[in-house]
Structure 1
Amino acid sequence: MTDTDPVAALIRDVAERIILPRFRNLATDQIIEKAPGDLVTIADREAEQALSEGLRRIDGTAAVIGEEAAAADPSVLDAVGGARVWIIDPIDGTEHFAAGRSPFGVMVALAEHGRVEAAWIYDPVRGRMCHARRGGGALIDGVPVTIRTPPNTRPIATLATKFFPAPLREMVEAQAATAFDLVPFPRCAAEHYPTLCLGGNQVGFFLRTLPWDHAAGSLLLEEAGGCVRRWDGAAYRLDDGKTGLLLACDAATWDLAHATLFAEQTGLDPNAPPPLA
């Protein structure tokens, strides 16, 4: 990423003009529950529109998939495996944003034929920009980042088990605690992926894997030296039609996490993720 990166400039501009002025300044009628427990704000919608228009100006050959556009019309997702596709999460962590707290962030990815090729994750409060290009490494605020795990420490895992049926959630968390120290999921992928890259924790585990939540972060983590795979061990692709994602700081930790989480005690099948609760 350079100082003239047009995507980074666009994201910063949208954050300054649209997102931050609404932070801790939302009226009640500007926060909507689009589904039970799933919030959207006027800032999400306005930011997505501005990002979509700006990205089309940068590369009009690419389709655009935004979280809010897909919520209004699920057929938008049909383009996810296309030749070139912009993927937008205008405010990841809307629950935090609506409550007037951090973390939340803006995530943009560029994919080609189902594989993420470039990624941007911006924290408007910190002013932190994460960026990755396939084969070009990961950068945070322009500085190359390679995951460094503290030696001889028990790995820290974050399990996003919100969408698991309650009994399964309890079994998975109990089994995970045999090998890892567990910390709560921050309910914000725009925070979780940089934390993995910076060594703050070593394992992430998801059932639901909507593309706007994971496209940008998955490439950032891979380019920082991490391991991103489906539960069955396959490489993560946006167009594979699968759910379930296991992240780790390196391949050895991924193997440990896989063996632990898919042990007989959990009843999880890596080839058949359970239905969303």
Structure 2
Amino acid sequence: MDTDAVLDLIREVAEKVINPRFRALSSEQVDEKGPGDLVTVADKESERLLTRFLVDAYPEAVVLGEEAYAARPELLEEFQSAEHAFTVDPVDGTKNFVKGSPDHAVMVAEVRAGETVRSWIWQPQHELAYVAEVGAGAWRNGERLTRPTPAAEPADWRGVTSRWRWLGRSLGDLEPLKLTWVCCGVDYPKLVEGEADFVVYGRANPWDHAPGSLLLSEAGGYAGTHDGRPYRPTDPLEVHERPAGLLAAADRATYEHVVPLL
């Protein structure tokens, strides 16, 4: 499937099973996978549809969906060893979706030999489509994106984090960290568009970060681990029995300045 066809598919699925549930969910349509980890009927149905379409188009590929992984964790190992795979985050920002916030997204990424090669982020309530392809750039609704140059002084950078216990913490001479948009499918576009200069994540789940990290890199930014390695979607989810962290930054120089401060 070409890039536009996949985007059309994502939009179609969102229109069919996500948008009708926005601000219309009943309590029976919302569950918890764990304490505070919400899942809705929209997550489940959209992931099933997207997975079915991708498997039909690419029968040899492994499709790693967030909800499929929750039901069958061994799927992650299949994804990490696959030559060709996809990640699917059916409703990224589920808490926002449940609360009625428009800051949620559908995300898909294509991975070959461990590297993300194409990605799609669709924000249905904002009607914004972010698409990236290795070597072909990052795009928003057909407009090419280039990450603005950060301020010359690090003290002027805006850092955000999804780690609640890090909120308000200062890293060296940098401003205290503020909260992200609580949705990777919004965080990465905001970072690319210059509304933040770096984002500190405590976890690096591939369905959360494969799409946005490619958008970021194709726009001139950089994503790497807390221990200084370039981010790859097939990285282990834990390092030394702790969740693997990720730092997404406006450019490589910003990353190199911030990462020793974590």
Residues 190-229 of structure 1 aligned to structure 2 (within 5 Å):
190-229=185-224
Cα distance in 2 for residues equivalent to 1:123 and 1:31: 20
Deviation (angstroms), 1:136:
1.2
How many aligned positions are there? 253
For the 8 Å contact 1:138–1:146, the answer to whether it is kept is: yes
Tell me the equivalent position of 2:182.
187
SS at match of 1:253: helix
SS at match of 2:233: coil
Amino acid at match of 2:33: K
Deviation (angstroms), 1:181:
5.2
Q: Given the two structures, how large is their TM-score scaled by the length of structure 2?
A: 0.91
For the 8 Å contact 2:224–2:247, the answer to whether it is kept is: yes
- Deviation per residue, 1:71-104 (Å, 9 max, x gap): 1111111122211111000000000111111200
Tell me the equivalent position of 2:111.
111
Amino acid at match of 2:70: A
Residues 1-277 of structure 1 aligned to structure 2 (within 5 Å):
5-81=4-80, 82-149=82-149, 151-152=151-152, 154-162=156-164, 166=165, 169=166, 173-176=168-171, 178-180=173-175, 182-241=177-236, 242=239, 243-261=244-262
Cα distance in 2 for residues equivalent to 1:33 and 1:195: 28
Cα distance in 1 for residues equivalent to 2:151 and 2:161: 22
**Is there any run of 5+ residues in structure 2 with no aligned partner, and where?**
none
Deviation (angstroms), 1:240:
2.5
What do you get for the CA RMSD once the two structures are aligned? 1.8
For the 8 Å contact 1:155–1:181, the answer to whether it is kept is: no
For the 8 Å contact 1:137–1:145, the answer to whether it is kept is: yes
Cα distance in 1 for residues equivalent to 2:257 and 2:11: 38
Cα distance in 2 for residues equivalent to 1:174 and 1:95: 24
Amino acid at match of 1:26: L
For the 8 Å contact 1:148–1:199, the answer to whether it is kept is: yes
SS at match of 2:255: helix
For the 8 Å contact 1:107–1:216, the answer to whether it is kept is: yes
- Deviation per residue, 1:190-249 (Å, 9 max, x gap): 000000110111101112111111010111100100011111221111223141111110
SS at match of 1:80: helix
Cα distance in 1 for residues equivalent to 2:97 and 2:138: 26
SS at match of 2:177: strand
Tell me the equivalent position of 1:265.
none
Cα distance in 2 for residues equivalent to 1:49 and 1:59: 15
**Is there any run of 5+ residues in structure 1 with no aligned partner, and where?**
262-277
Deviation (angstroms), 1:260:
2.8
After superposition, the Cα gap between the structure-2 partners of 1:91 and 1:11, relative to the gap in structure 1 and judged at 3 Å, is same
Report which stretch shifted further, 190-199 or 247-256. Answer: 247-256
Deviation (angstroms), 1:150:
5.5
Deviation (angstroms), 1:152:
4.5
Amino acid at match of 1:249: A
For the 8 Å contact 1:138–1:223, the answer to whether it is kept is: yes
